[in-house]
Every structure is written in structure tokens, then in C-alpha cells.
């Protein structure tokens, strides 16, 4: 599948089939994150893959009761180290985006979880104090096909040479 098609068809998935994710697939997803670009190549990230059902249930509580967190095939905690880079949040977000695209390429769905209590997540996953939990990704085989969400019109967000001067699309409809 082309990257653009993955981007075009990607949806946040909150319903998953009870089907284990093969380690070979999880490893490709993690490798996609490891290979992501970072400022000055500092790579200020760490990733924790959570497959244990009991730990995922504890994460449901840390994620303010979002039950689908526990129903996913895995949760990937994306961490940033502020001692490595001042872009310890931005760079792991890039890695998470790469992992998301690879997950969809592998036929999986992902939902980014930003609504969580960081201290609870850190306690559950035994994360050292110097690391920040940047985002949690639920990953699994989709059991839903959400419709596309509305997007802002291009003329409201794309500009040419300066803010307010609309960039007119000529080839992409």
C-alpha cells in the first residue's frame, strides 16, 4: 500500500478483535519508530509494549476509564527523555506517527491516547522519574470501520509564501 493511501484511509480505532498480534508485526512497528527522524539524531525515546491483560486493565484506570485500552491487542507507551534532548516530546511524537503508519500497513488499527494520568501510568509501568509519557498507542486488529471525520477546507489552512495567501491545489482533488 502507498503511504498516502495509508494516511488517507487511517482512522482512530477503539474496537478491536480478540486476536493476538504476532511478535514479528509488533517488532516491525517498533522498528518503524526507532528509524524515525529526531532533532540532531538524539533519539530521546523509549517504547514499552504492554501485552499483559492485567497491566492493560491497570492502564484503563490511568486512562480515565477508557475501556478499549484494555481491549486492544497491545498498548505502546511512547516515552521521552528530557535529559537527552530539549525536543523530548516532539521527537517521540514523530516516532509514534511512523509506528502508526506501519501498524496500518500491517492491517492493524491504532488510537492515540492523550487523556491519561501520567503519574499513574509511570507507576503501573515502573517508568523512571526522568522520563515523560508522551503518548499511549492502543494497537490491534480493527473490529470497526469508522467513517472519515470532517477536515478543514484546504483554502483555510494552506498558504503560499505568506500567511493568508491561499495555495491553490492543481493536481490533487
Q: Is the pTM of this model over 0.85?
A: yes
* Inside any domain, residue 78: yes
- In contact, 141 and 21? CB cutoff 8 Å: yes
DSSP run (H or E) holding 88: none
pLDDT per residue over 117-159, tens digit each? 999 999 999 999 999 999 999 999 999 999 999 999 999 999 9
Amino acid 127: pLDDT: 99
* Inside any domain, residue 164: no
pLDDT per residue over 44-92, tens digit each? 999 999 999 999 999 999 999 999 999 999 999 999 999 999 999 999 9
* Inside any domain, residue 172: no
Cα 83 to its chain centre, rounded Å, is 22
* Inside any domain, residue 12: yes
The domain that contains 13 carries what CATH number? 3.40.109.10
* Inside any domain, residue 25: yes
* Inside any domain, residue 162: no
* Inside any domain, residue 163: no
Number of domains in the chain: 1
pLDDT at 1 over 70: no
75: which residues sit within 8 A by CB, 6+ positions away?
Answer: 49, 50, 56, 59, 69, 136, 137, 138, 139
Amino acid at each position: 500500500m502507498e503511504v498516502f493511501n495509508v494516511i488517507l484511509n487511517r482512522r482512530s480505532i477503539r474496537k478491536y478483535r480478540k486476536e493476538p498480534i504476532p511478535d514479528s508485526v509488533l517488532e516491525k512497528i517498533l522498528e518503524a519508530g526507532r528509524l524515525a527522524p529526531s532533532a540532531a539524531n538524539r533519539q530521546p525515546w523509549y517504547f514499552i509494549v504492554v501485552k499483559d491483560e492485567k497491566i492493560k486493565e491497570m492502564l484503563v484506570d490511568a486512562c480515565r476509564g477508557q475501556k478499549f485500552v484494555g481491549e486492544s491487542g497491545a498498548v505502546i507507551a511512547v516515552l521521552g527523555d528530557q535529559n537527552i534532548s530539549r525536543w523530548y516530546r516532539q521527537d517521540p511524537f514523530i516516532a509514534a506517527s511512523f509506528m502508526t503508519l506501519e501498524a496500518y500497513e500491517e492491517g492493524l488499527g491504532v488510537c492515540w491516547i492523550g487523556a491519561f494520568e501520567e503519574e499513574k501510568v509511570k507507576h503501573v509501568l515502573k517508568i523512571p522519574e526522568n522520563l515523560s509519557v508522551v503518548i499511549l498507542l492502543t494497537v490491534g486488529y480493527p473490529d470497526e470501520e469508522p467513517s472519515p471525520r470532517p477536515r478543514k477546507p484546504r483554502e483555510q489552512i494552506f498558504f503560499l509564501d505568506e500567511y493568508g495567501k491561499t495555495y491553490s491545489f492543481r493536481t490533487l482533488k
